[in-house]
Structure 1
Amino acid sequence: MSTPKKKPKKASPKTRRKAKKKAIPRGTGIKIAVALALLVAIVVGAGLLLQRYLPPAPGTAPAVDRTKAPVTAQKTTPPPKPRKVAPPPPKAAAPVKPPVYEIYPAKEKADRPRTPIRPDRPAAGLPRVAIIIDDIGYDRGLARKFMAFKVPLTFSVLPDSPFGDTLVKEIKAQGLELMLHQPMEPQEYPSVNPGPGALLSTMTADELITQLERNLDQLPGVRGVNNHMGSQLTTESSRMYQVFSVIKKRDLYFIDSRSTADTICRPSAHMFQVPFAERDIFLDHFQEAAFIRKQFRLLAKEARKHGQAVAIAHPHRLTVKIFKEMLPELQKQVQLVPASQIVHIIG
């Protein structure tokens, strides 16, 4: 007898749901997620496009897309060209201060030894007089007025003076004699400054000699030296030995301006066998016409008495005026000569 076939059992709803779940193909979820992402991107992109290209609503400022706006270099305004400014007018040259002239000695030694008359002086004839014009180099006009007298004056030039170079050339061109007017320390130093190129007692021997050499080098053709001030330095034997060593080496002469009665220049010149003379008369240390006339007459008297004399004058207008007035009278009594014809070695 045959066995009856069993009927298949109907699946329950729960079982059917499970079966359906198992029926979803793989990868479907990923596709859905990608689709959603694309959708979101499209929506966002559309919103951005609308925001960018649609006109803004009234009263609202357009949004700035900071991520996509191109960066442009900011234009810089070039600096304005500097305007040409006319140079200021040149300043007027400051007036050149004249030097402090000699500090004249309060007294003279009446019994001072005199420089003997040069042996080559003619036995007969007029006594010789040398007139030295000191402090040359600060006033060209006055120096030229003295040159214009056409007599053999001797011009003593201060070192480092503003017009010294020019005047040295003119003095030499006229065949006149040239000296260095060497500033030296006065007793009143430092309240009284002897000026540029001065020799001071505080210098070492090398400093003093170097300064004197430098000053002499400024004056090509220089024949001799006399002191400007120097009431202190000319009393110091060690310093004057240094001075005379240079003068001897250069074969120059020395004339003592005698700014002090205590000068030791004479024995120094004797020791070094340097041609030497001394100032006898200051012509113009008081700027009064009557006084200067009196000094010219005293100069002639001194020359007649001793056979020769040395005078010193300075570049003052009044001195030029009285010199011109007194020159004819003076030339009748004395022979004017350069300083080199008065000096000699003291035996």
Structure 2
Amino acid sequence: MTETADELSAPLGQTEKRRRRRIRLPITVLQALAIILGLFLVVFVGFALFSDNPLGGEPVARVAINEGVKPDDKAAVKPEAKSNANADHGAAAAKQEGGERKTVTIIDGSSGARQEVAIGAGGETAEPGSAAAASQMPGVDPRLLEKSRYGMIPVMADGVKPFTAYAADADRAKAARMPAIAIVIGGLGVGAAKTVDAIMKLPPAVTLAFTPYGSDPTKLAERARTQRHEILLQVPMEPYDYPDNDPGPQTLLSTLGPDQNIDRLFWHMSRLQGYVGIGNFMGARFVATEAAMQPIVNEAAKRGLALFDDGAAPRSVAASLATGRAMPFAKGDVAIDAVPTPVEIDSALAKLESLAKERGVAVGTASALPVSIDRIGTWIKGLDRKGILLVPLTTAMLKSKSN
């Protein structure tokens, strides 16, 4: 009774309760799960953005090199792991020559073409941009390379020029006797799909021009040369509306000194190998400025390269400067897909035919738009019956020089 009376007489809120208090968590279980998932997403996105793995997502094949293989052992060493079946290139086998030089046979998934690519001692691939890496590129002559601070760049050696060494095969005697047309497809390297379309859908006589940009211009340039196309390096140059219209990093500028522009030229030159010459990528102001253009032409001539002007700048001084250095030169006569419709492209190709018959040789330029590739490919099939020969750009340059 006493306890009951005490409870009844005690002030409100001060009653002593013997039962245990309930513990309440600051967050619910669902909130905790949401926080954990959020942290996981942040870590995943951070890894994707800042991880230094430029080949992430690409098919990879690891090849084991048996150090004990003898020169007379004909058994191929099998790859440890298979690459993705959809990859353009797959490692088929590896072999060791003379107990020192090791190679991997690469099979092109589109054409079935096979090529031997050397790898460094102990199964290590050569460092990109190094002399060893350049010497492993199919068809690239290591004698025609020298080291710059950006990587390997072309050079003339032992009287051999890159222009001569990397020119595509052509019947030059036949080209001298009949009208000839060269086609240059430019802007390649950025956009692997359209670049591969140009490489695979157009015949080897079509010359392909690569910009120095893109994730792997070297790989695409190698593929083009494997398909027997000759290639050009397009060097980004200053247009009249620069910087509103910016060709890209390391653009050659008329406001820079010769040493600065030559340094930028070397950066572009180091991005791929095996090209016969250089051409302008945009650059209407630069190619019209003799003081800026002269050192570039001199450097290209000294290195045994040709010069190509796409013909877009009416005031270009490229032709006169190239003539002064007696270097191979050509200028685009017709921009085939200036208006990218089937009717206008066909009209431009007809104009190109007329010029070739009138002057003996003509050069057309185009981009790798699907409609351009389609119309040019169809047009090429009918050239023989028109008495016109499709030739690589180098052959057109030599024919123009002899005329």
Unaligned 5+ runs, structure 1: 1-81, 94-119
Cα drift, residue 293 of structure 1: 0.8
Q: Does the CA-based 8 Å contact 1:270-1:346 persist in structure 2?
A: no
Question: How does 1:68-107 map onto structure 2 within 5 Å?
Answer: 86-88=40-42, 89-90=44-45
Q: For 1:281 and 1:250, locate their aligned partners in 2 and report how far apart those are by CA, in whole Å.
A: 28
Question: How does 1:1-347 map onto structure 2 within 5 Å?
Answer: 86-88=40-42, 89-90=44-45, 122=174, 125-148=177-200, 149-333=202-386, 334-344=388-398
Deviations 1:302-336 (A, max 9, x none): 11111111111101121122223322223433211
Would the alpha carbon gap of residues 261 and 170 (structure 1) be closer, same or farther in structure 2, given more than 3 Å must change?
A: same
Q: For 1:337 and 1:90, locate their aligned partners in 2 and report how far apart those are by CA, in whole Å.
A: 50
Q: Does the CA-based 8 Å contact 2:309-2:331 persist in structure 1?
A: yes
Cα drift, residue 179 of structure 1: 0.5
Q: For 1:140 and 1:288, locate their aligned partners in 2 and report how far apart those are by CA, in whole Å.
A: 23
User: What CA RMSD, in Å, does the superposition of the two structures yield over aligned residues?
Assistant: 2.5
Q: Does the CA-based 8 Å contact 2:187-2:209 persist in structure 1?
A: yes
Cα drift, residue 297 of structure 1: 1.2
Task: Work out which structure has the larger RCO, using CA pairs closer than 8 Å and 6 or more positions apart in sequence.
Answer: 1
Q: For 1:207 and 1:331, locate their aligned partners in 2 and report how far apart those are by CA, in whole Å.
A: 47
Q: For 1:285 and 1:86, locate their aligned partners in 2 and report how far apart those are by CA, in whole Å.
A: 50
Cα drift, residue 260 of structure 1: 1.6
Cα drift, residue 202 of structure 1: 1.4
Q: For 1:210 and 1:331, locate their aligned partners in 2 and report how far apart those are by CA, in whole Å.
A: 45
Would the alpha carbon gap of residues 332 and 142 (structure 1) be closer, same or farther in structure 2, given more than 3 Å must change?
A: farther
**What code does the residue aligned with 1:205 have?**
P
Q: Does the CA-based 8 Å contact 2:236-2:251 persist in structure 1?
A: yes
Q: For 1:201 and 1:170, locate their aligned partners in 2 and report how far apart those are by CA, in whole Å.
A: 34
SS of equivalent to 1:258: coil
Q: Does the CA-based 8 Å contact 2:309-2:332 persist in structure 1?
A: yes
Unaligned 5+ runs, structure 2: 1-34, 50-171
Deviations 1:124-173 (A, max 9, x none): 74311111110001122222222223331111111132241221110121
Cα drift, residue 203 of structure 1: 1.2
SS of equivalent to 2:397: coil
Would the alpha carbon gap of residues 301 and 346 (structure 1) be closer, same or farther in structure 2, given more than 3 Å must change?
A: closer
Count of aligned pairs between the two proteins: 240
Using the aligned pairs only, state the percent identity: 24
SS of equivalent to 2:383: helix
SS of equivalent to 2:40: coil
Q: For 1:143 and 1:277, locate their aligned partners in 2 and report how far apart those are by CA, in whole Å.
A: 23
**What code does the residue aligned with 1:236 have?**
T
Q: TM-score, normalised to structure 2's length?
A: 0.55
Q: 248-257 or 148-157: which moved more?
A: 148-157
Q: Does the CA-based 8 Å contact 2:175-2:391 persist in structure 1?
A: no
